[in-house]
């Protein structure tokens, strides 16, 4: 069984036991549990439920493992022959979570 969920604007395909990276949520500490209530699709062995836009009563339980920062992305701006160069780096923060359960009401 797998589900497509939406957490803080990003959609993820999850199964029970998966470790996923969701957008950073500083309110949650390591070891805390939270639920993703916006389940967009739920696929079982025999049937598929598609939400319009979400499935009411379905939820995915997650447990926070840790917070981290992704690899650096370098942003470069340049205009030729004008001696204009700007380099900027960015590291996106994320929350790593373990999917502990996928439930349908």
pTM assigned to the model: 0.81
The answer to whether the bond into 53 is cis (omega within 30° of 0) is yes
User: Which residue range is the domain that position 95 belongs to?
Assistant: 2-103
Confidence of residue 105 (pLDDT cuts 50, 70, 90): confident
- pLDDT tens per residue across span 8-57: 999 999 999 999 999 999 999 999 999 998 999 999 889 999 988 999 99
> Looking at the 3D structure of the chain, how many domains does it have?
1
**Of 47, 43, 45, 33, nearest to 5 (Cα)?**
43
């Amino acid at each position: 069984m797998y589900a497509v969920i939406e957490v803080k604007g990003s959609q993820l395909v999850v199964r029970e036991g998966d470790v996923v990276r969701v957008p950073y949520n500083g309110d949650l500490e390591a070891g805390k549990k939270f639920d993703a209530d916006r389940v967009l699709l739920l696929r079982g062995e025999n049937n598929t439920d598609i939400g319009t836009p979400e499935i009411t009563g379905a939820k995915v339980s997650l447990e926070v493992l840790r917070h981290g920062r992704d690899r650096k992305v370098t942003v470069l701006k340049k205009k030729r022959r004008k001696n204009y160069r700007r380099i900027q780096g960015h590291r996106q923060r994320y929350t790593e979570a373990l999917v502990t359960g996928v439930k349908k009401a």
